[in-house]
Structure 1
Amino acid sequence: MSHSIEVVSELTRKISVVVSVEDVNAALTSAAREVGASVTLPGFRKGKAPASVIEKRFADEVVGRATEVLVERRVADIVKEEDLKPMSRLEFEGDPIVRGQELRFSFTFEILPDVNLPEDFSAFSVDMESAEPTEEEIEAFTKRLLKSVATLEDVTEERLPVPGDVVTIDVDGDVEGKPVPGMKVANYNIQLVEPAEGQELSELDKIIRSLKPGEEGTGSMVCPDDHVDESLRGKTVDLRVKLHKISTEILPELNDELAQKFGFPKLDILKYMISKQAAESKAERVRTDAEQKIMDQVLAGQEFPLPEAVLKTQRAEYEGEIREFLEKQGMDKEGIEGSLKNMTEEIEEQTKERARMFVFLAAVARREKLEVTAEEVDMQIMRMARQYNQDYAKFREALYQSGSVNDIQDRMLNSKALAFMLDKAQKTAVEAKAE
């Protein structure tokens, strides 16, 4: 068995493999014996049928097993032998395995580029808040929990909305006399809150607070510079709002009865779990902030080519996040697609930045010989199955068949690389930021 490597482009490699007739025949015979060990054919005892008979009767299965030995395992050996890190799925070309003939096949893939990694991540320093939650943070966490089981009570008196009310509205908007795709929402619920200190009410808020149920109002607003649709930034939107109803949010009382509703025997245990969850939530936020800080530092001034496969994956993930966000805002499908079309430049920028992070972390993981075990992957798949309410076994099988499990493994490996960088960096304690 022999192979050769062709440099197709800066990041693309094509490996051609030749498998001898002897190796092909041996693999088919071995595969036939494996298949035959568990089958019974007329005239033969179980597992005693000749390999030549099994190969004819169960050709597809025999060829499949032989292919696994000659192709899949050999490919893994070659990639390891040549010290290459694939950054894309392998694209195969070749003929099926045939007894008595050489097997010739090739596979093409993108590789990890050369990245100039820092010799020692301890040379970097990041500011980190204390992960211990304050009383105010625990109180805010508790309120979010209560709001998750709150009820709404319609307001029957004729009055204007006030902070804390949940209003049901229709909103429509035009820019320069033309309808804006996705700007129109119907029966949308929004809770009115007081603006942060030093900030004013939005124009939409002002219109809503001037209406009584059944009334309509108009106004205009200038889209902020961070609006999700970059084509609307800085433009004036003419708004039309109809207020359907006002509701009051009724928060449940924090008592033993509520604790039991959440599955805890008494209030003290619920409070303990709230404090624990608040601590875990803050620790995760603090660490995420610190990880982003160190990524910003190590990527500063870095230049390296980006594999097209990585760019494609990161673009799809980012667009998926935008779609999910806009759906939660009540935007229809047409509006979402229109917004994505108008966000081309921003999507490209974010895609490249995400791809740079992905490639850099892959290089760190490779240099530091970080690994993700099969058990860790299975645990992650189990968590995903619970999250999406899927049967674990079927979900796992689908991920492996589609090859998506490789993407999961890569993300887990990069997470380990990011954690490695932060653990090595110097940490400076700073005062907690106001929420």
Structure 2
Amino acid sequence: MQVTETLNEGLKRGYTITVPAADLEAKVNEKLVEAQPGIEMKGFRKGKVPMALLKKQFGQRLMGESMQEAVDGAMSSHFETSGDRPAMQPKVEMTNEDWKEGDDVVVSLSYEALPEVPEVDFSGVEIERLVVEPAEEDVTEALEGLAKNAQTFETKKGKAAKGDQVVFDFLGKVDGEAFEGGAAEDYPLVLGSNSFIPGFEDQLIGVKAGEEKTVEVTFPDEYQAEHLAGKAATFDCTVKEVKKPAEAKIDDELAKQFGSESLDALKGQIKERLAAEYAGAARQVVKRQLLDQLDSLVTFDLPPSLVDAEAQQIAHQLWHEENPDVQGHDHPKIEPTEEHRKLAERRVRLGLLLAELGQKENVQVTDAEMTQAIMTQARQYPGQEREFFQFIQQNQQAQQQLRAPLFEDKVIDLVLDRAKVTDRTVTKEELQAEVEKLEEM
């Protein structure tokens, strides 16, 4: 087998691989000899089928297998010897398309090699980490939000107003006949919540406890129950109670509604949650600072194919953000701009740098970390967690999309351990301003 270099320009590589016909023939014969003892054929005992007959029957398929194995072996040997790592899937093409049995096989191999990433001294990297301590007013604000969400009502006298809760029985009819699902007893409805058919709640404004009222509405044309869509209906309503929103009380009872033993315990949980949120936001700022400095510390050639692919992805993503109404990919071709390419070059450069450092330091994402990441993602699909787990297990690309940010964060932590990091206490407003700057970049 012969491998001849045809291109060596920057990171671009090209080779011609020649597999002699004699080598292929020997490989086919070897496969036939290996398989012969287990082959049965009409007119011959098991293991006694003549080699010539076996070759006629199976030779063509084995020749194809031998070709593939020979080329794969040559490529593997080449990458092991040269030390090259292809940036993307190598392009392999058979050059003698008129090949016939007895001819050498000639294949062209081309790819872009990953560059040599230089060593980086991280001791000169200086990072300022913003620290925010949750203030009492922040905890109070969060408690007030919880109290508002845990809205309760108390009985009132007089007429129901918007925002009040009406407890009532109702019976719905279409063409004078009651319909399935159109009745309920002691139903609590907050007027203005828009949880009923349009126009229904407005007609209950002004009712009093003990009052009976017939509400007339028309089901929307796109109503989910097709047999009711677009039809006029009446609802015979009997009002049992009118309630007004009760003043929110921040006390131990509120805490118990949210699973805490006491108000003090709930405050502690809120403080921990706020601290975690602030730390997460500060992490974003630290990460941008670090990546900006790393980007200025290293320079090396970038594989054009990786930059092109990243620029295309950036342009495509930004186009969809600017055109949210377009859900699919049936749109004109999107050409990356120079700005997209500059951002792509930065991402590729930093991605290769972090990947190289992670590989040298043997950074690993553990099974436990992957499981936690999958569980976190699965919570975004309530009721479909099992299906999500199965999807991830069966999809290598999805697994990589989850593993990549975990790997990157572990490498970032590795660099931060070697850099000079100083803490500065700021207000949450100052931290928010820094986070907003990141979004503008």
TM-score (norm 1): 0.52
Q: Is the 8 A contact 1:18 1:105 kept in 2?
A: yes
Q: Corresponding residue for 1:360?
A: 353
Q: Which residue of 2 aligns with 1:217?
A: none
Q: Secondary structure at 1:128's aligned position in 2?
A: strand
Q: Describe the shift of the 1:138–1:325 C-alpha distance in structure 2 as closer, same or farther (beyond 3 A).
A: farther
Question: Once the 2 structures are TM-superposed, how far is the Cα of residue 424 of structure 1 from its aligned partner?
Answer: 1.8
Where does 1:183-332 land on structure 2 (aligned, <5 Å)? 255-259=255-259, 278-300=274-296, 302-323=298-319, 325-326=321-322, 331-332=324-325
**In the alignment, residue 332 of structure 1 is paired with which amino acid?**
D
Partner residue of 1:4?
4
* Residue in 2 that maps onto 1:430: 424
Give me the whole-angstrom Cα distance separating, in 1, the residues matched to 2:365 and 2:23. Answer: 31
Within 5 Å, which residues of 2 pair with 1:62-81? 69-72=69-72, 74-81=74-81
CA contact (8 A) 1:2 1:19 kept: yes
1:350 aligns with 2:343: yes
Q: How many residues align?
A: 327
Q: Which moved more, 1:67-76 or 1:404-413?
A: 404-413
RMSD (Å) for aligned C-alpha atoms: 5.9
Q: Which amino acid aligns with 1:123?
A: G
Describe the shift of the 1:131–1:156 C-alpha distance in structure 2 as closer, same or farther (beyond 3 A): closer
1:109 alignment partner AA: Y
**Superposition deviation, residue 12 in structure 1:** 0.9
Distance 1:57 1:303, change over 3 A: same
Instruction: Give, in whole Å, the separation in 2 of the partners of 1:26 and 1:377.
Output: 49
- In the alignment, the residues of structure 2 paired with residue 67 and residue 269 of structure 1 have an alpha-carbon distance, to the nearest angstrom, of 70
- 1:289 alignment partner AA: V
| Cα pair distance change 1:373/1:337, threshold 3 Å | same
8 Å contact from structure 2 (residues 312, 336) kept in 1 = no
Matched residue, 1:333: 326
Contact persistence 2:93–2:109 (CA under 8 A)? yes
Q: CA deviation at 1:417?
A: 3.9
Q: Cα–Cα, structure 1 residues 296 and 392, in superposed 2: closer, same or farther, change >3 Å?
A: same
Q: 1:418 aligns with which of 412, 415, 422?
A: 412
Partner residue in 2 for 1:113: 115
Question: Quick one: structure 1 residues 272 and 49, their matched pair in 2 at CA, closer, same or farther if it must change by over 3 Å?
Answer: farther
Instruction: Tell me, in whole angstroms, the C-alpha distance in 1 between the residues paired with 2:305 and 2:368.
Output: 25
Separation in 1, partners of 2:347, 2:119: 17
Deviations 1:65-112 (A, max 9, x none): 656744445534422321223222211112799986644323222122
Q: Deviation per CA, 1:4-47: give whole Å up to 9, x if none.
A: 3343431211233334556545665777899999x997779xx9
Q: Is the CA contact 1:370–1:416 (under 8 Å) kept in the aligned structure 2?
A: no
User: Structure 2 vs 1, CA of residues 69 and 340 (structure 1 numbering), >3 Å: closer, same or farther?
Assistant: closer
Tell me, what secondary structure is at the counterpart of 1:84? coil
Q: Structure 2 CA distance, aligned partners of 1:269 and 1:35?
A: 73
Counterpart CA distance in 1 for 2:370 and 2:144 is 35
CA distance in 2, matches of 1:63, 1:148: 72
Q: For residue 84 of structure 1, what is the aligned residue in structure 2?
A: 84
TM-score (norm. length: structure 2): 0.52
The whole-number CA distance in structure 2 between the counterparts of 1:25 and 1:265 is 80
Report if aligned partners of 2:316, 2:334 keep a CA contact under 8 Å in 1: no
Q: Is the 8 A contact 1:28 1:99 kept in 2?
A: no
Shift of residue 353, structure 1, vs aligned partner: 2.7
Matches within 5 A, 1:161-172: none
The separation in 2 between residues aligned to 1:348 and 1:297, in whole angstroms, is: 20
Any gaps of 5 or more consecutive residues in structure 2? 152-160, 164-191, 193-244, 430-441
**Secondary structure, aligned partner of 1:290:** helix
Deviation of 1:371 after TM superposition, in Å, equals 5.6
Look up the match of 1:123: 124
Q: Distance in 2 between matches of 1:84 and 1:106?
A: 16
Matched residues in 2 for 1:33 and 1:268: separation?
Answer: 81
* Letter of the 2:13 counterpart: R
1: CA distance between counterparts of 2:322 and 2:40?
60
CA displacement, residues 287-332 of structure 1 (integer Å, 9 cap, x when unaligned): 33223212212322654333222222322342354356446xxx43
Question: Structure 1 unaligned runs (5+)?
Answer: 158-165, 167-247
Separation in structure 1 between the aligned mates of residue 66 and residue 143 of structure 2, nearest angstrom: 59
- % identical equivalent positions: 18
Q: Which has more radius of gyration?
A: 2
Describe the shift of the 1:139–1:83 C-alpha distance in structure 2 as closer, same or farther (beyond 3 A): farther
Q: What is the CA–CA distance in structure 2 between the aligned matches of 1:339 and 1:144, rounded to whole Å? A: 46
